[in-house]
Structure 1
Amino acid sequence: MDATFKTVGKPPGATPATAWWRSVGLRQIRLACGLVLFAYLLSHFLNHALGNISLDALQAGVIIHAGFWQSFPVAEIFYSAVTIHGALGIWALYERRQFRWRAIEPLQLVLGLSIPALIVAHVVAVRLGQNLFDIDRSYPQVFYGWITSPLRTWSMYLVVLVSWLHGCIGLYFWLRLKVYFKRVAPYLLAAAVLIPTLALLGIFQGKREVEAKLASPQWQAANLNETRLGTEPQQQTLGDLTDQLLIGYAALLALVLAARGIRQVVEQRAGMINLAYGDGRKIRVPTGLSVLEASLRHRVPHASVCGGRARCSTCRIRITSDIGNLPAPSAREAFILSRIGTGADPAVRLACQLRPTTDVAFVQLFAPQVTSANAHASQPARIGQERYLVCMFVDMRGSTMLAEKRLPYDTVFIVNRFLDAVSQAVIASGGQPNQFIGDGELALFGLACDPQTACRQALQAARLIAENIDALNLALAHDLPQPLRFGIGIHGGEVIVGDIGYRDHMVFTALGDAVNVAARLQDMTKSLACEVIISEEVCTTAGLAGDALPQQDVAIRGRAAPMNVRTITDAKVLSSLVTSDMVSAL
C-alpha cells in the first residue's frame, strides 16, 4: 500500500531563526504586547481583590504590584507594550475595511479604543502626579476622590469591565484554535467571571472602609494632606493635562476616521477591479480590499477559520489569471504558505492577505460550507490544528493474490476480519483507527495524550496487532492457503489534523510529514523483510533502550537525508520491549 500526502513543515533551507522571524507579523506583535498588558491587568485586579480583606491588605498588595511592574526592565517592557499595542489598535481602526465579519471583532476594537479615554484621568492623577509633583497617591486617596465625585466610581467600574472584556476576547481569539482549548475552556470561563467580580467587590469594600475612616481627623491629616493629594494649582495642572490628552485622543480618532474616508475616495477614483470566482461569479470592488474582505463585503461565502488573521490557510486561493501584476506576499503570508508546502507556487495566495490592484480570477481551495469562519463554535476539534501525533500505517500482505483465488465477498470478509483485528489492537492501546485504504489502515495516537504516551501506545498496538493476527490465522486456518501477513510503519511528528473532504463526504484525518514517512516505512517492510519499522523519533520519545532493536539508516522517498530506524522481523518481540512500566502508564 502506498499513499501520498501533502507535506507540512519548514520551507527548504530555512533555519529556525529565519522561520520564526518570517512567522512574525503585526498581529503576532499585537498579541505579544496584549499578553503583557493582560498580565498587568491580572496582577492589578488580584490586588483590587485584596480589598475584600482590608484596606491594609490593599496597601500591602500594591507595594508588591508596583515594585514588580516599576522595576527595570519590567517597566521598559510594560510601557513599550502599552505604546505598541495602542498604536496597533489605532492602525487596526484605519486598516480594517470590513466590520461585518462577526459582531465580536468590532466589539473588541471599540472596547480597546475606549480604554485610553476611560483611564486617562486615573493615569494622570496617579502616575503623572507622582512623576511631575511627587504626589504620593494610593488607594485611600483614589477612593477619597471617588467619594467626592461619584461619577468617577462608575467610570472605574466601567473601565474594569471594559478592559477585562477586551483582554478576554483577545485571549479567546488566540486560544480558540489550540488543541487544548476545549479542555481548559470551563476553567478559563470561571476565572474570567470570578477575577473581575472579586476585583469590583474589593474596590467597593475598600471605598466603604475609607468612607468610615473619614470620620477620624487623625486619618484625614495623615492621608488627605497636600503630599498625598497635591496642592490646588497642582490639581488644576493635572486636570488641564487630562482634558488636553482627552481632546488629543479624540482628535486622533477623528483623524483616523477622516483618513479612512479619504482612502475610500482615493481608492474609488483609482479605479475598480473585477474579482472572478471559479464558479462563474464576478464582483467589482475598489482597489485596496483584500480578496477575503471583498468576498465578505459582497456576501460571497469564503472559508476563514482564523477570521482573516493569517493564522491559518483555509482562506487560500489559486490564481487562474495572470500572476505577474500581483503584489508580493508579505513575510507573514510567505511563512504560512511555506508551512503548508506551497511557498514555491506563486499562484497560491492567502485571500486575507492578497490585495490585488488589477483584475484577478481565482478558485477557492477550501469549500466555504466546510470551514466557515465560525466553524470552531460547533466542532472545535475538527478544524485544522497543528499538533504532535504518532502515525501508524498497517497493510495486509498478499491481498491481490488472495482476491484472485476467491469470490469477491469472501475476500471482503477476510479483509474486514484483518482490519477488525488491527482496529481492536489500536483502540485497546489508546489509539484511533483513522482511514481504511483498501486492505490497509492509518491509525493515529496522541489525539488526547502527550507525545511520550502516544509513542508507547503505538508500540503497544504493534504488539497487539501481531497477537490478534496470529489468533485470526488460527481461526481461519482451514480457509487460508497461507497465514495472513502484515507490514507496519510508525513515525511521529507535527501534523495538521482536521476535516478533509467535500460537503457530506468528510473525513477527519492528519496531513503532514509524519504521515508520509509512516506510509513509506510501512512500504519498506517488504524490501527489508520485516514486519515493523519504527522511526528513531518514536523509539527515543517512548523511552526505548538504545540497543533494544537493530538500527539502520534508510533512504526515504521525498527526503534528502537518510533516516535512522529500528527494524523488527517479528512484531511479537515487542512483548519484551514494551515494559510493564510503559503499559501501566498507558
Structure 2
Amino acid sequence: MQARLRALSGSVLFAYLSCHLLNHAFGLISFDALGIAHDILMEIWRTPLGSFILISAMVTHIAVAFLSVYKRRTLKLTGLEITQILSGFVIPMLMVNHIIGTRVAEEIAGIEPTYEYVIAALWVASPVLGVLQAITLVLAWMHGCIGLYLWLRVKPWYQNWQRELTVVAIILPVLSLAGYVSAGFEILFELDRDHMISTILENARYNSSAIEPLQALVTPITFGLALLGVAPFGARKLRAVLEQKSRILLLLPDGTKVPVPAGATALEALRSSGRPHAAVCGGRGRCTTCRVKILEGGDVLEPPEGLELTALTRIKAMAGVRLACQIRPKDSLGISPLLPPTATAKDGQQLGGLEGEERRVTSLFIDIRASTKLAEEKLPYDVLFILNQFFSEMSSAITETNGHYAQFNGDGLMALYGLMGTEEDGARSALKGARAMLNRLEALNKSLASELPFPLRVGIGLHHGEAIVGAMGPPRAQITSAIGDTINIAARLEGLTKTHDVSVIFSQEVAQAAGMDTTGLERSEVPVRGRTAPVVFFPIRDPNRILPL
C-alpha cells in the first residue's frame, strides 16, 4: 500500500509540475501567451476537485516519504536514492515563499497573482528569490524524474523508450527556464515605462497590509518544515536506542553470518553489513533482482503478499524463492542470492527461480518436418517469414495452455509444463498444448496457402519425469530451461514421429501423470541408452479425438 500511495501521489505531483513547466515555456512568446496557456494547463488544478487532489497528493507524498525513511533499517543508499531524499527534503522549504505569495495570498488576501505580478516580484522586487525559484524548479523536476526512473526502469518496455523519455526530461525544463528568463527580461526592459509597476500591482489587487502578515509566516513555516524533515531521522535514532541488539542472523552459503536489526528486511541487513546485493528498484518490490532462495528457517516467515506476491507470480518463481527487500526475518534465516550484485533490470525480468532444482515436469518438443526442403524451394526472406509466423503461433499455443518456452533449436522448440501447479495439471496442460499447436498449425497452413510450396507438418514428442530446471545460458541472455533424461527422451520421441508417420507421440509416464485412460491406444516401446527398461509410448494418429481440449 505504501509503495502504491507513493507512486500515485508522485504521479499527480509530476503531472502538475509538467503542466507548470510547460506553462512557463510560453514565456518565450509573450505574457499574453503565458496567460492563455495558464488558463488551459493550470485551470483544472484550481478547481475545488483539482485543488483537493493536488493538496492530498502533496500531503500523502510527504507523509509516505517520512514513513519510508523511518522504516528503513539502513541509510546505505545509492547515489540516486540519496539525491532523491535530499532534494525531497529541500524542495518544500524552497517552495514556502512562492506558495504563500501566490496561492495563499490569493485565497486569504484577495491578491490576483498574474504572471506579470509574479515575474516582477521575482525579477525586480527580490532577484534572490527569483534565482531560488529557478533552482527549486530544477530540483523539483529532477526529483520527479528520479522517482519515475526508479519506478519505470524495471518495466520491460522502458529500455525501448528510454532515449525519447530522456529527451523530454531535458527539453521541458530547458524550455521552461528559457520562458521564465524571457518573461523576466521583458519585465526589466519595460521598467522605464510610466507607471508600469503601479499598473501591475493594481491589476494584481496588491494590498501591502494584507500581504505583510502572510510574509511574516515564511520564516517560521520554513523552520517548521526543516524540523519536520529531520524528525524521521531523529525517530530512527530513538528507535535504535530503545531496541535491543538483535540476535537474528542471515546465514549465507559461504558461511557468512549477517546480523539482522529488529524489524529490518533481509536486503537492509545485507546492505548495512556492507554485503553487496542486487536491488535495481531500491528495495520497492518491483524489479525482483533481490530474489533469494530460502535454505532454512523459511517456515517462520510471513507468506508473500501484496507487491511481493504480485512480483513472484509475474516471474513464475518456484517454491522457496522470496524477495530480500520484502521479507523481515523473525529468527535466523538461511538464504542464497539468486542474482549477482551487478544484476540489471533486464535480469529481473527472467522467469523462474534461477537456481537449479530437480523437479518432475512434462517436456514437449516440436519440430517442423521437411524444413530443409522448404529452405530449398523458397527465398531466405520467405523462409524467415514463414518460420516467424510458425513460432509465433506455437508460442501462443504454449502460453494459452500454461506452458513455458524453454529452448529454440532452429526449426523447433521445447516447452516445459508443470513449473506451476501439480504434476497432473502439467501433464494435462502439455497434452492440451500439443493439440492447440496442431489446431494453430492447421489454421496457419490455410492462411499461408499461397506462400507455402506444401503444407507444414510437425512432430511433437512429450515425456514426463525428473529434470534439472533453472536459469541457463549466457549471463545476459539466460532463460529458464531444463536438462536431463526426461528432456532427452522427449526429443527422442519427437524424432520417432517420422518413423511412425504421426504428429504426436507421448510416453506412458505422461499418460499416467495426466490420469489418462490409454485403453485402445496403439502402444510401442523404444530402448534408451542408460535405462534398463524401454520407454513405452503411444503414437497418436488422430490427435483431435485423443488429446484433451
TM above 0.5:
yes
2:171 is matched by which residue type in structure 1? L
What is residue 366 of structure 2 aligned with on the other side?
Answer: 395
Amino acid at match of 2:114: S
Q: Which residue matches 1:500?
A: 471
- Paired residue for 2:329? 356
Q: Could you tell me which amino acid in structure 2 is paired with residue 119 of structure 1?
A: M
Correspondence for 1:159 among 136, 139, 143: 136
Q: 1:295 to 1:82 in 2, by over 3 A?
A: same
- Following the alignment from structure 1 to structure 2, what is the Cα–Cα distance between the partners of residues 273 and 78? 43
Q: Is residue 384 from structure 1 mapped to residue 357 from structure 2 by the alignment? A: no
The one of 256, 265, 277 aligned to 1:302:
277
State which of 99, 104, 109 in structure 1 corresponds to 2:80: 104
1:191 corresponds to: 168
Separation in 2 of the partners of 1:505 and 1:61? 47
Q: In the TM superposition, what whole-angstrom CA distance separates every residue of 1:118-143 from its partner, at most 9, and x where no partner exists?
A: 11110011011011111111211111
- 1:110 to partner: Cα distance: 1.3
Partner of 1:319: 294
Residue pairs, 1:206-221, within 5 angstroms: 206-221=183-198
Classify the secondary structure of the residue corresponding to 1:129. Answer: helix
Q: Deviations over 1:80-99 (max 9, x none)?
A: 11111121122222223334
2:141 touches 2:173 (CA, 8 Å); kept in 1? yes
Q: What secondary structure, in the 3-state scheme, does the structure 1 residue paired with 2:236 have?
A: helix
User: How far, CA to CA, are the matches of 1:461 and 1:294 in structure 2?
Assistant: 57
C-alpha separation in 2, matches of 1:531 and 1:284: 58
Per the alignment, residue 368 of structure 1 pairs with: 340
- Displacement, 1:504? 5.2
3-state SS, counterpart of residue 296 of structure 2: coil
What does 1:394-433 align with in structure 2 at a 5 Å threshold?
Answer: 395-396=366-367, 425-427=386-388
Please give the alpha-carbon distance, in whole angstroms, between the structure 1 residues aligned to 2:441 and 2:174.
44
Q: How many residues align?
A: 443
The offset of 1:224, in angstroms, is 1.6
- Against the structure 1 CA distance between its residues 300 and 57, is the aligned structure 2 distance closer, same or farther, given a 3 Å change threshold? same
Q: Quote the residue 2:234 is aligned against.
A: 258
- Normalised to the residue count of structure 1, the TM-score between the two structures is 0.64
Give, in angstroms, the shift of residue 466 of structure 1. 13
Structure 2 CA distance for aligned equivalents of residues 270 and 357 of structure 1: 13
Distance 1:247 1:148, change over 3 A: same
Matched, 1:248 2:221: no
Contact 1:36 1:78 in 2 (8 A): yes
Q: Is the 8 A contact 1:275 1:284 kept in 2?
A: yes
Bigger relative contact order (CA 8 A; separation at least 6)? 1
- Quote the Cα distance in structure 2 between the aligned partners of 1:333 and 1:168: 25
Shift in CA distance, 419/79, structure 1 to aligned 2, threshold 3 Å: farther
Equivalent residue, structure 2, for 1:203: 180
Question: Given residue 64 of structure 1, which amino acid in structure 2 is its aligned partner?
Answer: I
Where does the alignment leave 5 or more consecutive residues of structure 2 unmatched?
A: 352-362, 377-382, 396-404, 416-438, 463-469, 483-489, 505-512, 516-540, 544-549
Q: Once the two structures are superposed, what CA deviation does each residue of 1:235-286 show, in whole Å capped at 9, x if it has no partner?
A: 321122111211111111232221111122233x243322101332212242
CA spacing shift, 1:508–1:462, aligned 2, 3 Å: farther
Given that 2:117 and 2:204 are in contact with CA atoms closer than 8 Å, whether structure 1 keeps it comes out as no
Q: Give the alignment partner of residue 287 of structure 1, picking from 262, 277, 286.
A: 262
Amino acid at match of 1:205: S
Q: 2:2 aligns with which of 14, 26, 34?
A: 26
- 1:139 pairs with 2:94: no
What corresponds to 2:202 in structure 1? Answer: 225
Please give the alpha-carbon distance, in whole angstroms, between the structure 2 residues aligned to 1:133 and 1:458.
Answer: 76
TM-score when scaled to structure 2?
A: 0.68
The one-letter code of the counterpart of 1:384 is Q
Deviation string, structure 1 residues 104-160 (Cα, Å, up to 9, x no partner):
111112112211011111001101101111111121111121222111111011011
5+ residue gaps, structure 1, are: 1-24, 387-391, 398-413, 444-454, 473-483, 490-498, 512-518, 533-555, 559-567, 571-586
Q: Do the aligned partners of residues 320 and 180 (structure 1) sit closer, same or farther apart at CA in structure 2, a change above 3 Å counting?
A: closer
Counterpart of 1:271 in structure 2: which amino acid?
S
Deviates further, 243-252 or 178-187: 178-187
Change beyond 3 A, Cα 1:277–1:293:
same
Cα distance, 1:323–1:59 mapped onto 2, change above 3 Å: same
Q: Which residue of 2 aligns with 1:127?
A: 103
Any idea what the Cα deviations from partners look like across 1:554-579, whole Å, max 9, x if unmatched? xx969xxxxxxxxx989xxxxxxxxx
Q: 1:430 to 1:361 in 2, by over 3 A?
A: closer
The 8 Å contact of residues 246 and 261 in structure 2, kept in 1 or not, is answered as yes
- Please give the alpha-carbon distance, in whole angstroms, between the structure 2 residues aligned to 1:505 and 1:207: 51
Structure 2: distance between partners of 1:214 and 1:87: 44
Residue 37 of structure 1: aligned partner: 13
What is residue 333 of structure 1 aligned with on the other side?
308
**In the TM superposition, what is the alpha-carbon distance from 1:39 to its structure 2 partner?**
0.9
The letter for the 2-side match of 1:311 is R
The one-letter amino acid of 1:82's match is M
- Alignment partners' CA distance in 2, 1:69 and 1:258: 35
Query: Against the structure 1 CA distance between its residues 249 and 505, is the aligned structure 2 distance closer, same or farther, given a 3 Å change threshold?
Result: closer
Q: Distance in 2 between matches of 1:226 and 1:442?
A: 75
Question: Contact 2:297 / 2:331 at 8 angstroms: preserved in 1?
Answer: no
Note the alpha carbon deviations across 1:375-421, whole angstroms, 9 max, x for none: 24xxx4x54169xxxxx976249xxxxxxxxxxxxxxxx99969999
**CA–CA distance in structure 2, aligned partners of residues 260 and 459 of structure 1:** 64
Distance 1:471 1:98, change over 3 A: same
- Alignment partners' CA distance in 2, 1:461 and 1:49: 57
8 Å CA contact 2:294, 2:333 repeated in 1 = yes
Mark the CA change 1:504 to 1:317 in structure 2 (over 3 Å): closer, same or farther.
Answer: closer
Shift of 1:459: 6.5
SS in 1 for 2:66: helix
Measure, in 1, the Cα distance between the counterparts of 2:176 and 2:442: 48
Which amino acid is 2:290 matched to? C
SS in 1 for 2:78: coil
Aligned mates of 2:441, 2:224 — CA distance in 1: 62
How has the CA–CA distance of structure 1 residues 458 and 63 changed in structure 2, closer, same or farther, with 3 Å as cutoff? farther
> What is the CA–CA distance in structure 2 between the aligned matches of 1:177 and 1:322, rounded to whole Å?
30
Whole-Å separation in 1 of the counterparts to 2:442 and 2:84: 44
Match of 1:70 in 2: 46
Deviation of 1:162 (Å)? 0.4
Aligned-partner SS, 1:395: strand
Letter in 2 for 1:368: P
Aligned equivalents of 1:326, 1:85: Cα separation in 2: 30
1:466-481 equivalences in 2 (<5 Å): none
- What percentage of aligned pairs have identical amino acids? 30
Residues in 2 aligned to 1:40 and 1:49: alpha-carbon distance in whole angstroms: 15
Q: What residue number does 2:152 align with?
A: 175
The answer on whether the counterparts of 1:141 and 1:229 sit within 8 Å (CA) in structure 2 is no
Alpha carbons 2:19, 2:42 under 8 Å: kept: no
Question: 1:34-67, CA deviations, whole angstroms, 9 ceiling, x for partnerless residues?
Answer: 1111111111111100100011211222223332
Amino acid corresponding to residue 199 of structure 2 in structure 1: A
Please give the alpha-carbon distance, in whole angstroms, between the structure 2 residues aligned to 1:209 and 1:427.
60
Distance in 1, Cα, partners of 2:440 & 2:371: 26
